[in-house]
């Protein structure tokens, strides 16, 4: 699926899965004349990683300023030889918090757990990608299924692409400063913001640990509060706080159809089983839950009333909303929203299994409750209210 939409001053292309995303990303890198910024949580040493690496190296060798920012945890398995090869070709590679401290639970030191979960790319400030897709093979290795991860990306041309350029450049400079001086210039990060979007039909939203902690979550909540007919959310790791859950329940109570497409395959057991602990209250409120079983679900998207849509990297769970830098686009356009809605309904029909209220097996229920308690204990140790 790849359709193009002219929305105000921006041209958007909605892309499903890496099959469409990776070739376009490489083509745009190959077309770059001045600069490339690429941010990713996971950069895997596989066929897809090699394809993107080679495109970055080609650009650097012809004189393009190429900047690659990798998360220190998500990309920790990338071999040093790959990084050396990129740098030898002229690619400037930096790491976001390569030294992590998973044993530090003090609220004052939680910044050690901050992650760079954004998946952004921008070429010459003219074309950009806002995505939930990592640089990794579409079909998971060592898994007994042939379907790719379900995920989405948006290719943007127009004013929003300039915003993505500013956001990636700003984070690049912040990480570089921190690396050189072993500290972050917090004043600059606190007071410099992306330029306001001229065209409010397409908004580029960041989640950071300063002024934009809850922007993406608030965008969801506003859309849910205004929903009249239908809410469809597909989220890989779904464990929102009390406020978000209540918003969905209130919507269902006033007659809005609320549909959740959630992970059906166990990829990370704690997040998976913790989500199961929410099923009972959500089903009781009249919310439809479907588990995606064809492959891993990696999407972080939502559609409301076929008019409002969001695509990006932000999951609706504590680690994403409280510890990770994220980026989404929010689009107010019927044709774009309808395209995403159609794709999600197709995924539900072909790969989704509806969850009923017939009851969860006792052992599974025990795992769910234990997982939920463990995650909430961790969140509490960070000094964060369960409401978030």
Residues recognised as catalytic: 117, 119, 124, 298, 300, 305
Can you give the three-state secondary structure of the chain, one letter per residue? CEEEEEECCEEEEEEEHHHHHHHHHHHHHHHCCCEEEEEECCECCCHHHHHHHHHHHHHHHCCCEEEEEEECCCCCCCCHHHHHHHHHCCCEEEEECCCCCCCCCCHHHHHHHCEECCEEEEECCCEEEEECCCECCCCCCCCCCCCCCECEEEEEECHHHHHHHHHHHHHHHHHHHHHHHCCCCHHHHHHCCCCCCCCCCEEEEEECCCCCCCHHHHHHHHHHHHCCCEEEEEECCECCCHHHHHHHHHHHHCCCEEEEEEECCCCCHHHHHHHHCCHHHHHHCCCEEEEECCCCECCEEEEECCCEEEEECCCECHHHHHHEEEEEEEEECHHHHHHHHHHHHHHHHHHEEECCCCCCCHHHHHHHHHHHHHHHHHHHHCCCCCCC
Residue owning tokens 């006033």: 254
Quote the CA–CA distance of 11 and 269 in Å, as a whole number.
39
Quote the CA–CA distance of 274 and 278 in Å, as a whole number.
7
Quote the CA–CA distance of 71 and 136 in Å, as a whole number.
14
Residue owning tokens 């105000």: 8
Quote the CA–CA distance of 62 and 57 in Å, as a whole number.
9
* The CA-based dihedral angle spanning residues 162, 168, 169, 174, taken in that order and rounded to the nearest 10 degrees: 150
Quote the CA–CA distance of 14 and 159 in Å, as a whole number.
17
Contact 317, 329 (CB under 8 A): no
């Amino acid at each position: 699926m790849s359709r193009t939409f002219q929305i105000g001053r921006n041209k958007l292309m909605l892309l499903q899965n890496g099959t469409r995303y990776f070739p376009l990303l490489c083509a745009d890198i190959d077309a770059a004349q001045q600069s490339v910024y690429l941010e990713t949580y996971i950069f895997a040493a596989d066929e897809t990683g090699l394809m993107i690496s080679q495109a970055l190296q080609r650009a650097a060798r012809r004189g393009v300023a190429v900047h690659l920012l990798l998360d220190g945890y998500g990309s920790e398995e990338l071999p040093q030889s790959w990084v050396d090869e990129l740098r030898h070709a002229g690619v400037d590679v930096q790491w976001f918090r390569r030294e992590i401290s998973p044993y530090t639970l003090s609220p004052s030191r939680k910044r050690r757990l901050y992650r760079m979960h954004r998946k952004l790319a921008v070429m010459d400030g003219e074309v950009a990608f806002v995505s939930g897709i990592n640089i990794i093979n579409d079909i998971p290795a060592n898994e007994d299924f042939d379907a790719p991860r379900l995920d989405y990306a948006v290719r943007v041309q127009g004013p929003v692409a300039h915003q993505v350029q500013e956001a990636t450049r700003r984070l690049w400079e912040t990480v570089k400063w921190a690396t050189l001086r072993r500290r972050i210039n917090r004043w600059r990060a606190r007071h410099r913001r992306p330029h306001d979007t001229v065209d409010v039909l397409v908004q580029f939203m960041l989640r950071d640990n300063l002024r934009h902690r809850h922007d993406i979550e608030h965008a969801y909540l506003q859309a849910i509060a205004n929903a009249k007919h239908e809410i469809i959310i597909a989220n890989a790791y779904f464990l929102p706080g009390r406020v978000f859950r209540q918003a969905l329940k209130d919507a269902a109570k006033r007659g809005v159809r609320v549909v959740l497409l959630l992970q059906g395959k166990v990829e990370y057991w704690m997040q998976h089983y913790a989500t199961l602990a929410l099923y009972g209250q959500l089903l009781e409120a009249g919310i439809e839950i479907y588990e995606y079983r064809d492959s891993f679900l990696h999407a972080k998207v939502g559609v409301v009333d076929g008019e409002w849509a969001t695509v990006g990297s932000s999951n609706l769970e504590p680690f994403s909303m409280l510890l990770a830098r994220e980026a989404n686009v929010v689009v107010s356009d019927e044709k774009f929203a309808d395209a995403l809605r159609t794709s999600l309904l197709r995924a539900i029909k072909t790969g989704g299994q509806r969850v009923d209220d017939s009851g969860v097996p006792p052992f599974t229920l025990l795992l769910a409750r234990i997982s939920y308690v463990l995650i909430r204990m961790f969140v509490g140790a960070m000094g964060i209210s369960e409401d978030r």
